[in-house]
Amino acid sequence: MLEFRMPSLGADMEAGTLVEWRIAPGQTVTRGQVVAVVETEKGAVDVESWQAGVVAQLLVAVGTKVPVGTVLATLDGAAPAASAAPPAATPAPPPPAPPPPPAPPAPAVSAGARPLASPAARRRAREQNVELASVHGSGPHGEITVADVEREAAPSTPAPPATGEALPEPPPAPAPAPAPATVDRGAAMRQAIAASMTRSKREIPHYYLGASIDMGPSLSWLREQNLSRPVTARLLPIALQLKAVALALRETPELNGFWIDGAFRAGGGTHVGVAISLRRGGLVAPAIHDVDTLSLGDVMQALSEVTARARESRLRSSELSDPTITVTALGERGVETVFGVIHPPQVAMVGFGTTLDRPWAIDGLLGVRPIVMASLSADHRVSDGHRGARFLASLGELLQHPETL
């Protein structure tokens, strides 16, 4: 019997609320399939299954908030494999297909649990000051939709009186009821981030290094490359920086992984988390997987897609739990240097500031070059200044030869 548990979607997550099941008992589940939607301080997240099997039982009702690690469902073994085809010489007639079994009912919501509603409907209800408990859901299994919320919020219009009928005296207006309390998701996210960063600064012995990198070769190469690309496929400097970080980690793999149970555990790939600012406040750092093996075009596309989904609260659980290192780039904000705080259990963070024209000497000749300050925050339990300096040197060298990325 396999267990599907509430995943940890970051070191700052302690619990999550199940808002939707996308599986039912008896259904075959494949590895990587989205099986549920969980709401956290960072928004709604599509949760994937890490194993294949047949759903045996759903143990948590929609609307229930449970701690990380809680068993949400059980699966029976591995998914059944397709049977081998019969010999061509003596094909057996296929047996008649059995009638499809009726869909199992959705798990009941326990008393006091939140009503079943989509994340979009919850946001609309908060905007309209609508109490979800009073809304009748018209979606599958009684799920409340945005249209249901708007119908509940719309003022009812009485029918006009018949000709000659006197209008009744309007009843006295009731005292205004206090608006239902709303959750400030931006504040909740900032509190969760603050708790994680406090833990990081308390437990991780940080050291910090910085290096100035000439971006001239990279920017010149980008201009040439983008001339032959459509506008929607043009590359930005951040794509080169992410790829260069991933390749530099091959020289210093001790920066790519986790500190867990008192020991370093190498990452299973180079999954670079990218810090993304959210419109409602706060930030997330979802992973772009296997960046060291992607083309620059694929890195750029993946970055665009994950940024859009992060701002629409449509991230997947693997993107939030997989980063092996995080990159933050604040160049567009005019910041010259950023020294980040490591996201536990990761052991390193890389920062890029804005690219500025600076005086720069090459072969004894002084000129003006586009310079970016790259920084490294690293965990002294795993690496030291010598290894960190080697990483930054490799990063700078890679950005001098963008055609090799």
**Domains of the chain, with CATH numbers?**
2-76 (2.40.50.100), 119-153 (4.10.320.10), 199-404 (3.30.559.10)
Residue 318's H or E segment, with its range, is helix 317-321
User: pLDDT, tens digit, for every residue of 31-43?
Assistant: 889 999 998 877 7
- Positive or negative, the CA dihedral 395, 400, 291, 200 is positive
For 52-106, the pLDDT digits (tens) are 999 999 999 999 999 988 999 999 875 444 433 333 433 444 444 444 444 444 4
**Where is pLDDT greater, at 86 or 114?**
114
**Average pLDDT of the residues in 148-168:** 59
What is the arithmetic mean of pLDDT over 165-180?
Answer: 52
Given a cut of 60, is residue 171 above it in pLDDT?
A: no
Higher pLDDT, 169 or 270: 270
Name the more confident of 114 and 402: 402
State the DSSP code for 59.
-
pLDDT digits (tens, 9 = 90+) for 226-252: 999 999 899 999 999 999 999 999 999
pLDDT at residue 186, rounded to an integer:
65
Asked if the model's pLDDT at residue 313 lies above 60, the reply is yes
385-399 and 237-248 helices, crossing angle to 10°: 140
Q: What is the pLDDT of residue 260?
A: 93
Instruction: Say what percent of the chain tops pLDDT 90.
Output: 51
Q: Are 71 and 35 in contact (CB under 8 A)?
A: no
Tokens of 200: 């990081």
**pLDDT of 141 over the 70 cut:** no
CB 135 within 8 A of CB 149: yes
Tens digits of residue pLDDT in 320-344:
888 999 999 987 788 899 999 999 9
Question: What average pLDDT does this structure show over 259-269?
Answer: 94
Bridge partners (DSSP) of residue 265 are: 258
The amino acid occupying position 280 is R
Return the pLDDT at 94. Answer: 43
Q: What is the mean pLDDT of residues 267-280?
A: 90
Any residues with CB less than 8 A from the CB of 79 and at least 6 apart, and which?
Answer: 28, 29, 30, 52, 53, 54
